[in-house]
């Protein structure tokens, strides 16, 4: 094990861990073995290689796209750019996407992609060439399209890469009206949607806030109710970790620790997330930040400091049976996919802890990707057609109330009441409603199904039941 954040490799058997969790949850359902096997299996695994020009020579790139389940169409899932990516990992992430979409009631099947590179080792032009060639390979095999399979950003990729994919797909499909719906996570200027960039982190923060609002559960694990004053350690200062920490702080939590691959910092009185982010941007490291009381060159030590909530938002397999006994948090909220091994989860629950599972906790990204896909299919921004109508109706209502009561509202009060919702406000509202409703669906299964002992199992049970209904209604062809 390295001294910094653990990396995925061929020995992690990530897909096996997902299947192990599935099999355990399946015993709490009443579906036949064949149907359960269909739900668990990856329907399509496409592994391919392609060359690119590198300097005066060539380099061969390994890549994957896995479509786990077509019980709903299209399939949906990000593309990971990492030199540690492998087929097992992509299959596991595709399966988790299937269950994740079912948990938050988003009508997609699960998929995932991977390109085996370290983006830091390539120029922007080379990355563009790799991304466009990857997209063409997917087009050739019918593994991408607004009604087939819709990629999104993941570890190592972002809006820039999604723009290249969108342009490549549109170029290769001239005249297709819904071409921009073939990929989500695009910039606003290229038919993206407000709130997508921060959606996963915001969803993690909402999930935690909802979890700690349940008095019965907090009493059982020895915490007070409510997010205010809760001490949080976040692992990872990328898109998910940064926004998770940012919104948790806005909700009233205290960010006491931050961990990255170069090390970790801690201050029991709290860290300024934005200041740490800027420090790392300027220096290349979170170490050396003036507001830290403790520093750890071994990043994993940062996870073991005093806190109430730990948010692993980096890569999978971060909390294992070798370090879980040193974790002092009462709640682990999985911002990353698969950060806690099954063995570690068993130990953590035996210590009286609670885990908010990744399939639910980080579903904010796919939820808002769904909104973006709907926007691309409808070809109109949310709020555009009704915002002025709402403001006019609200203005007339306020004028009538002022006339009847004789009380004039202040300009600030009037603007607050009158203002129609923007696209960002509608997106955030839809995301919040999705995360709140989904948490209580999971918790109801957890509380009301005999012998279910974790929220993860409860989430799996709910997902399996929903997917089973879809398959039964579809039937089998021919």
Interval 160-178: pLDDT, tens: 999 999 999 999 999 999 9
**Phi, then psi, of 176 in degrees rounded to 5:** -75, 115
293 has catalytic annotation:
no
Q: Which residues contact 148 (CB under 8 A, 6 or more apart)?
A: 73, 74, 75, 142
Q: Which position has the higher pLDDT, 460 or 54?
A: 460
Torsion sign across C-alpha atoms 294, 299, 303, 304:
negative
Q: Rounded to whole angstroms, how far apart are CA atoms 116 and 80?
A: 8
- Run of H or E residues at 266: strand 263-266
Residues forming beta bridges with residue 48, ordered by sequence position: 63
Mean pLDDT for 187-193 is: 96
Rounded to whole angstroms, the Cα distance separating 61 from 51 reads: 6
Edge-first strand order for the sheet with 44-54 is 44-54, 57-67, 109-115, 75-81, 149-153
DSSP 8-state code for residue 233: E
DSSP 330-398: SEEE--SSS-B-HHHHHHHHHTT-EEE-HHHHTTHHHHHHHHHHHHHHHTS-TTTTTHHHHHHHHHHHH
Is the predicted pLDDT of residue 29 greater than 70, yes or no? yes
Task: Tell me the average pLDDT across 85-107.
Answer: 96
pLDDT exceeds cutoff 90 at 447: yes
Which segment of 11-20, 372-381, 460-469 scores lowest on mean pLDDT?
A: 11-20
Q: What average pLDDT does range 355-359 have in this prediction?
A: 96
**Residue 5, CA distances (Å) to 249, 259, 304, 371, 454 in order:** 24, 9, 13, 33, 26
- What b/e string do you get for 100-118 counting C-beta neighbours within 10 Å, with b at 16 or more? bbbbbebebbbbbbbbbbe
Q: Which residues contact 189 (CB under 8 A, 6 or more apart)?
A: none
Please say if the pLDDT value at position 129 is more than 70: yes
pLDDT tier for residue 134 given thresholds of 50, 70 and 90: very high
| Chain segment 44-83, per-residue pLDDT in tens | 999 999 999 988 899 999 999 999 999 999 999 999 999 9
109-122 pLDDT per residue, tens: 999 999 999 999 99
The pLDDT of residue 192: 97
The stretch 9-29 carries a mean pLDDT of: 83
pLDDT of 244-293, one tens digit each?
Answer: 999 999 999 999 999 999 999 999 999 999 999 999 999 999 999 999 99
Residue 4 pLDDT > 50: no
Enter the tokens of residue 40: 């668990």
The answer to whether residues 373 and 186 touch, using CB atoms and an 8 Å cutoff, is no
For residues 410-434, average pLDDT: 94
Query: pLDDT averaged over the chain?
Result: 94
How many residues appear in the chain?
Answer: 478
Residue 357 pLDDT more than 90?
A: yes
Joined together, the tokens standing for residue 356 give 């908010």
What's the pLDDT score for residue 116?
98
Given 40, 76, 100, 112, the catalytic residue: 112
As a dihedral over the C-alpha atoms of residue 154, residue 159, residue 162, residue 168, rounded to 10 degrees, the angle is -160
CB-based contacts of 104, cutoff 8 Å, min separation 6: 360, 363, 366, 367, 434, 435, 438
Closest CA to 147 of 75, 65, 67, 94: 75
Please check the confidence at residue 7 and state whether its pLDDT lies above 80: no
- Give residue 247's region: left, alpha or beta (phi > 0; psi -120 to 50): alpha
Percent of the chain exceeding pLDDT 90 equals 91
Here the tokens at position 45 are: 């695994």
Which residue in this structure is represented by tokens 């709140």?
Answer: 436
Is residue 385 predicted with pLDDT exceeding 70? Answer: yes
- pLDDT at residue 1 greater than cutoff 80: no
The mean per-residue pLDDT over the stretch 225-244 comes to 96
Q: Which pLDDT score, from 0 to 100, does residue 12 have?
A: 56
pLDDT at 55: 84
pTM for this predicted structure: 0.92
Separation CA 186–CA 196 (nearest Å): 9
């Amino acid at each position: 094990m390295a001294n910094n954040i653990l990396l995925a490799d061929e020995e992690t058997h990530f897909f096996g861990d997902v299947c192990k969790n599935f099999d355990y949850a399946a015993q709490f359902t009443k579906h036949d073995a064949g149907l359960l096997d269909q739900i668990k299996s990856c329907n399509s695994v496409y592994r391919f290689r392609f060359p690119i020009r590198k300097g005066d020579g060539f380099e061969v790139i390994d890549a994957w796209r896995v479509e786990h389940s077509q019980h709903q169409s299209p399939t949906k899932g990000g593309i990971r750019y990492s030199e540690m990516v492998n087929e097992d990992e992509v299959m596991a992430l595709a399966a988790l996407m299937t269950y994740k979409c079912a948990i938050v009631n988003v009508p997609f099947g699960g998929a995932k992609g991977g390109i085996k590179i370290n983006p830091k080792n390539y120029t922007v032009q080379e990355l563009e060439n790799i991304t466009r060639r990857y997209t063409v390979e997917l087009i050739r095999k019918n593994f991408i399209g607004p009604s087939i399979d819709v990629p999104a950003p993941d570890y190592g990729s972002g809006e820039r890469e999604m723009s290249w994919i969108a342009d490549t797909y549109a170029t290769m499909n001239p005249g297709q009206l819904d071409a921009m719906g073939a990929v989500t996570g695009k910039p606003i200027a290229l038919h993206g949607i407000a709130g997508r960039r921060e959606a996963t982190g915001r969803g993690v923060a909402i999930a935690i806030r909802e979890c700690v609002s349940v008095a019965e559960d907090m009493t059982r694990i020895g915490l007070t109710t409510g997010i205010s004053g809760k001490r949080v350690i976040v692992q990872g200062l990328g898109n998910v970790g940064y926004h998770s920490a940012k919104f948790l702080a806005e909700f009233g939590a205290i960010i006491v620790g931050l961990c990255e691959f170069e090390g970790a910092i801690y201050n029991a009185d709290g860290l300024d997330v934005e200041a740490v982010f800027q420090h790392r941007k300027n220096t290349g490291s979170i170490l050396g930040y003036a507001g830290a009381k403790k520093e750890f060159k071994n990043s994993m030590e940062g996870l073991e400091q005093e806190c109430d909530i730990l948010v692993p938002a980096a890569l999978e397999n971060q909390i294992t049976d070798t370090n879980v006994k040193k974790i002092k948090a009462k709640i682990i909220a999985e911002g990353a996919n698969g950060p806690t091994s099954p063995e570690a989860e068993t130990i953590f629950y035996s210590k009286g802890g609670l885990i908010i599972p990744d399939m639910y906790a980080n579903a904010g990204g796919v939820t808002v990707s769904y909104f973006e896909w709907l926007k691309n299919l409808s070809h109109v921004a949310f709020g555009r057609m009704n915002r002025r109508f709402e403001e006019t109706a609200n203005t007339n209502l306020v004028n009538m109330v002022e006339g009847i009561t004789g009380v004039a509202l202040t300009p600030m009060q009037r603007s607050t009441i009158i203002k129609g919702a923007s696209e960002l406000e509608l997106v955030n509202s839809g995301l919040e409603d999705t995360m709140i409703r989904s948490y209580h669906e999971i918790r109801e299964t957890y509380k009301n199904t005999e012998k279910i002992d974790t929220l993860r199992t409860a989430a799996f049970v709910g997902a399996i039941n929903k997917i089973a209904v879809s398959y039964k209604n579809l039937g089998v062809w021919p």
